[in-house]
Amino acid sequence: MAQHSSKGARFQAVTANRLSDGEVVYLTPDNQWAETFAAADISDGPEAGDALLARALPADFELHVLEPYLFEVLQDASHFKPASVREIIRAAGPTVRLDLGKQDDAKRES
């Protein structure tokens, strides 16, 4: 699997795709899979990152999600945001179709 987090990454989160429909999901502090990045558990430091990923790998998760992996998160003032363009796009939807993906749901809620 491609590397989605740099060696020096401080903050990280775990993401996967949901088995039933491929929706992007994030591992939450209470070990659920949420559809929004805002609900993701954020680890601080490499060891905490490893521990976070370990929580995503139990066999029973395989019934719900595919290919969980760690990705780097940046802290911006009091907010966290994904570090890479790839993860920013996964968290929102295609940049060329703002009516599709999570960004569309966000619009509907606002």
Partner 1 sequence: MYRYDEFDHQLVSERVKQFRGQVERRVSGELSEDAFKPLRLMNGVYLQLHAYMLRVAIPYGTLSSKQLRMQAHIARKYDRGYGHFTTRQNIQFNWPALDKIPDLLEELATVEMHAIQTSGNCIRNVTSDQYAAAIDGEVEDPRIISEIIRQWSTFHPEFTYLPRKFKIAVTGHDNDRAAIKLHDIGIVIKQNELGDVGYEIHVGGGQGRTPFIAKKMADFVPKAQLLAYLEAVMRVYNMLGRRDNSYKARIKIMVHETGEVEMRRLIEAEFAKIDASQMLAVPPAEIDRISAYFASPEFETLPASSDVLEAAKTQDADFARWVRANVVAHKQDGYAIVNISLKPIGGVPGDASDVQMEAVADLAERYSFDEIRVTHEQNLVLPHIRLDDLKTVYDALHAHDLATANLGLISDTIACPGLDYCNLANARSIPLAQEISERFADLDRQYDIGELKIKISGCINACGHHHVGHIGILGVDKKGTEFYQISLGGSADENASIGKITGRAFTEETIVDAIETVVTTYTDMREGSERFIDTYRRVGLDPFKERLYAE
Give the residue, chosen from 45, 50, 94, 106, that forms a contact with partner 1 under the rule CB under 8 A: 94
State the DSSP H helix or E strand holding residue 66, giving kind and residue range, or none if neither. Answer: strand 65-76
Identify the CA nearest to 14 among candidates 39, 98, 96: 39
Rounded least distance, CB 78 to partner 1, Å:
22
How many secondary structure helices (H) and strands (E) does the chain include?
3, 6
Give the residue, chosen from 31, 45, 51, 67, that forms a contact with partner 1 under the rule CB under 8 A: 67
Residue 107 touches partner 1, criterion: CB under 8 A: no
* Whole-number Å distance between alpha carbons of 29 and 45: 16
Nearer to partner 1, 77 or 85 (CB): 85
Residue 100 touches partner 1, criterion: CB under 8 A: yes
Residue 17 touches partner 1, criterion: CB under 8 A: yes
> Which stretches within 1-110 are classed as H helix?
46-56, 85-92, 102-109
User: Which chain residues interact with partner 1 by CB under 8 A?
Assistant: 6, 17, 19-24, 62-63, 66-67, 72, 83-86, 89-90, 93-97, 100-101
